[in-house]
Amino acid sequence: MIKMRESVIMKIHYGTALGAVALVAIHILFRMTQNFTVSLQYENVIANYHLLPYSLMLEVVLILLSIHGFNGLRVILLELKQGIGYEKIVNWGCISAMAVLVAYGSRTILMAGMGIS
């Protein structure tokens, strides 16, 4: 398996952070288009998922935050304890957890978009 250089991982880490900040800002601005409480009502939230560009943006936010978050967790865990076996578990554990979260979140976005509850 090709090992990714740490600088590449960290560039992704910084990039995903910047991307997430920008998209989450748009997401929050959308809440401002109407009264904040109203925008969080069930019908309005579901309506967001029915809008394809918006649900695509939510999917991208999910991916960016999952990559950034789990890499952050990986870094914290690697700094906490060292050892070849432990580090392998941490690396693979974080990649797997990230994949599971993206899959579960995508399923939710897809189901809400298709009107399945």
> Does 17 contact another protein by CB under 8 A?
no
> Does 79 contact another protein by CB under 8 A?
yes
Among 17, 23, 57, 78, binds another protein (CB under 8 A): 78
Rounded to whole angstroms, how far apart are CA atoms 65 and 21? 9
3-state secondary structure of 5: coil
> Does 56 contact another protein by CB under 8 A?
no
Using the rule CB under 8 A, give the single segment among 9-17, 26-34, 95-103, 107-115 that binds another protein: 9-17
The owner of tokens 């809008």 is: 51
Q: How many residues does the chain have?
A: 117
